[in-house]
Structure 1
Amino acid sequence: MLTFHSELTKRRRALTELDGGQLVTPYECPERVDLVLARVLESGLGEVREPVEHGLAPVLAIHDRGYVEFLERCWADWVAAGRQGEAIAWIWPTRTMPGHVIPQHIDGRLGHYALGADTSICEGTFEAAMASKDIALSAVDHVLATGEPAFGLCRPPGHHAATDQFGGYCFFNNAAIAAQRALEAGRSRVAVLDVDFHHGNGTQEIFYARDDVLFLSLHGDPLHCFPHFLGHADETGEGAGEGFTVNYPMAPGTGYAAWVEALEAAKARILEAGCELLVVSLGVDAFEHDPISAFTLSSDDFTDVGRRLGRLGLPTVFLLEGGYAVEEIGLNAVNVLSGFEQP
């Protein structure tokens, strides 16, 4: 399986994350890329290639222009305002302050475009996000051209990024950008299967009213788990998209036997919908030792996940999302990919 990777993804090296009332070193770190890449090379998975630059047009096919321009300028505007440290939102539009007008001050714009206070913006964030979406696009272009599977070693991840909001370490929605690319290349319907422990709220929001993308997510119940405010089973799409969002929320502590039942149900829905290409938002934070998740999948379970996805028989692109048990992230991600290629 071909892997796409760029050292530019490591230009984002954030120092601060708000977690449990403390500012800590972010769980999402550049070392994740090194560990996954090392495992790709050790396992003999296949060739590693640099992505092709694709510019902003594919981003603007998914994301609001004002939001993209904000991300591009945010760090410079933060520094120009004389701020120390990293850019972190601390005030938001709320039910009592709906925020119909976007503020000019950097604090207000941060609040307008941020999902929460977990994700800081630092120097290099925009450049890393651009490289990450180029990886996703190069991977899906390879699948479209050859029918062979590909792995995009994306960083930052993308599935929490909505049309005009960042959060959960995500800035551009790599899976949504890749799915849109496949549609523009002539595929009539694409499935985005999100197996990250955390619900892909951004991907759901982007495609919620559309029937050309089937979005399915296996995740921790938002009653207990981030992002808390989206991902319930009764969220099934609206308008033309009714029935094309499928959520499988599961309780903390869920093990593989119950998890894989949801996976098989999702696979059946993908086949029923006649999807012509599969984008897998490959989060491996369902792992039993992940520090910010609450499922109990083992490393061997991830190999079985890959085998089961391979049986769908669809052209497939895998894009890295979460996974924060850093020592095992390479093993678990590559186990999925190796399993996919097993007979």
Structure 2
Amino acid sequence: MRRFFDPRQALHAPALELHNGGFAPYAETPARVDAILAAIGGTETPPDRGTAPILAVHTTDYVDFLQSAPARWMAAGRSGDAIPYAFPVVGRRAVPLDRIDAAMGRYSFDATTPITAKAWTSSYWSAQSALAATQAVLAGERAAFALCRPPGHHAGADYCGGYCHLNAAAIAAQAARDAGTARVAILDIDYHHGNGTQDIFQTRGDIFYASVHADPATDYPFYWGHADESGEGEGAGATLNLPLPHGATLTAFRGAQAVALDAIARFAPGLLIVSFGADTWRGDPISHFALETADYPVLARDIAARGWPTAILMEGGYAVGALGDNVAGFLGGF
């Protein structure tokens, strides 16, 4: 299986995040990259396809904000990484965004996602890796893997959050559509719901989004991913959420994934994108499922057996010591 990654994806390295009411070491560390690379071997450097595929998903003002925020933060006399602290409530008036603090709240939905001087660079190359894997599959490969770091599925068209700045899965899906693939499906099997991906495509009928994740009644991102969310307008029926309780083991997860795969089969996609998170592992420090390392090849084989051309994109997974084995197991099973 071809694998794509650019070393610049490791440059984004925040020191802290605001978590459960206090500052804590940033969980989405560059050490995740080292662990995965040590387990899966060499990767190819993705070509630079520019900003056009990114701007096909994300708004121009948001992309401009990501690129300018660090300099604006420093110009305001701040030190360290840029972290938002004030957020607009739905229905409140728009305000001028001249002050960086206002802009940070406007384009973020949480305080766990600092914008460092290298956030744009790393996220940009994460998206390029996803595009490279997708193009490889469109060109005839059965499957390809993109080591997307930072992850992407929490980022919406005009907001960041959940360690995510650019939504690599959404960018890849839209690029496949623009390349002529009539129907694209996204299977999200990260512990946390991919709210950004759902937001981007919830009114679209040409891109199917299915997610197996922790119940948002108890887990982040709370406000998305409930079972009754199924899409809107032309996208009605093109979203499927399958939340699971704490402690879910392979039996429950595999069963929910099978429901998702059956729904995707009815959709009949020309391409499958898998947003794969290894934070479903039993020892993940910020998650509460109970999958074992030996379970990942099983889940991967179930997906591969459906026969769809597949681009696999890395999302979460924060138990660095086990991360490499879990990712390698999934890829090997596929």
Provide the TM-score with structure 2 as the length reference: 0.98
Equivalent position of 2:3 in the other structure: 3
Local SS of the residue matching 2:139 = helix
Equivalent position of 2:203 in the other structure: 209
**Which of 42, 48, 53 pairs up with 2:48?**
53
Equivalent position of 1:44 in the other structure: none
- The 1-side partners of 2:313 and 2:173 are apart by 11
Where in structure 2 are the equivalents of 1:173-322 lying within 5 Å?
173-322=167-316
Local SS of the residue matching 2:186 = strand
Q: Tell me the amino acid that sits aligned with residue 62 of structure 1.
A: V
Q: Tell me the amino acid that sits aligned with residue 12 of structure 2.
A: R
- The 2-side partners of 1:83 and 1:63 are apart by 27
Q: Is residue 121 of structure 2 the alignment partner of residue 127 of structure 1?
A: yes
Aligned residues of 1:90 and 1:107 also touching (Cα < 8 A): yes
- The 1-side partners of 2:175 and 2:79 are apart by 39
Equivalent position of 1:34 in the other structure: 34
- The 2-side partners of 1:74 and 1:245 are apart by 33
- The 1-side partners of 2:13 and 2:87 are apart by 25
Equivalent position of 2:62 in the other structure: 67
Local SS of the residue matching 1:150 = strand
Aligned residues of 1:99 and 1:112 also touching (Cα < 8 A): no
Local SS of the residue matching 1:299 = coil
Judging changes above 3 Å, is the alpha-carbon distance between structure 1 residues 102 and 180 closer, same or farther for their aligned structure 2 residues?
Answer: farther
Q: Quote how far apart the aligned CAs of 1:101 are.
A: 3.2
- The 2-side partners of 1:318 and 1:147 are apart by 12
Aligned residues of 1:102 and 1:112 also touching (Cα < 8 A): no
Equivalent position of 1:94 in the other structure: 89
- The 1-side partners of 2:113 and 2:121 are apart by 16
Judging changes above 3 Å, is the alpha-carbon distance between structure 1 residues 337 and 100 closer, same or farther for their aligned structure 2 residues?
Answer: same
- The 1-side partners of 2:205 and 2:270 are apart by 13
1:167-199 Cα deviation digits (max 9, x unpaired): 000000000000011111111100100000000
Q: Tell me the amino acid that sits aligned with residue 36 of structure 1.
A: I
Equivalent position of 1:153 in the other structure: 147
Aligned residues of 1:190 and 1:278 also touching (Cα < 8 A): yes
- The 2-side partners of 1:284 and 1:211 are apart by 29
1:113-132 Cα deviation digits (max 9, x unpaired): 01111111112111001110
Q: Tell me the amino acid that sits aligned with residue 282 of structure 2.
A: E
Q: Quote how far apart the aligned CAs of 1:25 are.
A: 1.4
Equivalent position of 2:73 in the other structure: 78
Local SS of the residue matching 2:312 = strand
Aligned residues of 1:285 and 1:293 also touching (Cα < 8 A): yes
Q: Quote how far apart the aligned CAs of 1:84 are.
A: 1.5
Please list every run of 5 or more consecutive structure 2 residues that lacks an aligned counterpart in the other structure.
none
- The 2-side partners of 1:259 and 1:40 are apart by 24
Identity %: 43
Q: Quote how far apart the aligned CAs of 1:20 are.
A: 2.0
Q: Tell me the amino acid that sits aligned with residue 93 of structure 1.
A: P
- The 2-side partners of 1:29 and 1:99 are apart by 36
- The 1-side partners of 2:253 and 2:26 are apart by 27
Q: Tell me the amino acid that sits aligned with residue 141 of structure 1.
A: Q
Q: Tell me the amino acid that sits aligned with residue 173 of structure 2.
A: A
Provide the TM-score with structure 1 as the length reference: 0.96
- The 1-side partners of 2:225 and 2:124 are apart by 27
Please list every run of 5 or more consecutive structure 1 residues that lacks an aligned counterpart in the other structure.
42-46
- The 2-side partners of 1:319 and 1:199 are apart by 15
- The 1-side partners of 2:10 and 2:282 are apart by 26
**Which of 109, 114, 117 pairs up with 2:103?**
109
Q: Tell me the amino acid that sits aligned with residue 174 of structure 2.
A: Q
Q: Is residue 15 of structure 2 the alignment partner of residue 15 of structure 1?
A: yes
Judging changes above 3 Å, is the alpha-carbon distance between structure 1 residues 190 and 121 closer, same or farther for their aligned structure 2 residues?
Answer: same
Q: Quote how far apart the aligned CAs of 1:102 are.
A: 4.4
**Which of 132, 136, 142 pairs up with 2:130?**
136
